[in-house]
Structure 1
């Protein structure tokens, strides 16, 4: 006997597994958006269409993109925690099917929410900025990656007495996709040398300049408060050294908010 989606959250043993699928799928949707549209295609960024004060300020743009990816990390790790709690339910009839079905629904739900909220209600960006037919690309993304994935997840989660879909192996692959997708989504597009650095409160000027020297960076811009700096760093493999000198967040790396560098590159 397999499990109906309508029963998924009423059976205690499967509740964590059901939420794990939704959260992991939703987080993957955000990572997919960041990797494909922000990095590879470079069609838009979070606040492309918001130009009124204070959003034209590069620091506000950076913070907005950073908070977006931070939210995706929180959702994804919440999904991983739920998956860990519900791991024993993978052996239950229909457990693995529920996990995959809900992951597909969560992935599609991200794109539906992004389309309705970001593209049409708030108007903060569109899928393909600069296109002559913005609505075409919005609707294409909405139905291909949103509606279609939700429909596929709903179909898969129906009680069709289907066989197992990989059990623990499938769950491990889903978790691996999230763990790999997060850092990759945090990377900027290729050929971007600009690094935005947020230093911890109380970091002394001597610490800041020691960090800049350690990465052989060239100063492009700094906030009057001295806590935000834009650097040109040719050797991107050295940027992690900034953490040793009081940095709190360093962009252009596979760390949380590492996606921030491309925002400055477009400014």
Structure 2
């Protein structure tokens, strides 16, 4: 039985399930990474003006770094969309596994951003001139929750 988007409603009946399990997961990871980077760029960099990708130089350099970061998120999201279209073409799309990949990719990117870029490399902080601890806690705890839920989805769809 197929649903409205041409995917198997029950992936146990999908003959391509095992063959494309990794591609579903990695397509989701790339999409999640691109989407969360895009949301970060638009919300925190452009709308709220809380920081730039690289805050250790001039505003002009910060804006250039934002543009490069935005290009990265766009390429990741569009690339994942092409991979997703390929899965649909092959009738091998596995929604639950793909969503698990999205959550895993989004969470890993966000945790990398919060720990490596914010703390270890010091490229920028979430926000300046405020007590940063609540922001860091929310940012990193949400990342860990996304990773955990994504990993559970992926584990439950192991072929």
TM over 0.5: yes
C-alpha RMSD of matched pairs (Å) = 2.3
2:151 to 150, 154, 160: 154
Which residue matches 1:180? none
- 1:41 matched to 2:45? The reply is no
Which residue matches 1:119? 118
1 or 2, which has the higher helix percentage? 2
Greater relative contact order, per chain length (Cα 8 Å cut-off, separation 6+): 2
Q: Secondary structure at the match of 1:28?
A: helix
Tell me the distance in 2 between the aligned counterparts of 1:99 and 1:28: 14
1:115 and 1:138 in contact (8 A); partners too: yes
- 1:143 matched to 2:141? The reply is yes
Which residue matches 1:79? 80
| Structure 1 position 141, deviation (Å) | 0.7
Q: In the superposition, relative to structure 1, how do residues 79 and 29 fare at CA in structure 2: closer, same or farther (>3 Å)?
A: same
Q: In the superposition, relative to structure 1, how do residues 23 and 160 fare at CA in structure 2: closer, same or farther (>3 Å)?
A: closer
Q: In the superposition, relative to structure 1, how do residues 29 and 57 fare at CA in structure 2: closer, same or farther (>3 Å)?
A: closer
Q: Secondary structure at the match of 1:85?
A: helix
Tell me the distance in 2 between the aligned counterparts of 1:2 and 1:156: 14
Tell me the distance in 2 between the aligned counterparts of 1:13 and 1:137: 38
Which residue matches 1:31? 38
Q: In the superposition, relative to structure 1, how do residues 156 and 15 fare at CA in structure 2: closer, same or farther (>3 Å)?
A: closer
Structure 1 unmatched ranges of 5 or more? 162-267
1:18 and 1:98 in contact (8 A); partners too: yes
| Structure 1 position 35, deviation (Å) | 2.4
Q: In the superposition, relative to structure 1, how do residues 83 and 160 fare at CA in structure 2: closer, same or farther (>3 Å)?
A: closer
Q: Deviations over 1:192-244 (max 9, x none)?
A: xxxxxxxxxxxxxxxxxxxxxxxxxxxxxxxxxxxxxxxxxxxxxxxxxxxxx
* TM-score normalized by the length of structure 2: 0.79
1 or 2, which has the higher strand percentage? 1
- 1:128 matched to 2:131? The reply is no
Tell me the distance in 2 between the aligned counterparts of 1:18 and 1:86: 11
Structure 2 unmatched ranges of 5 or more? 1-9
The number of aligned residues is 143
Structure with the greater alpha carbon radius of gyration: 1
Tell me the distance in 2 between the aligned counterparts of 1:35 and 1:149: 20
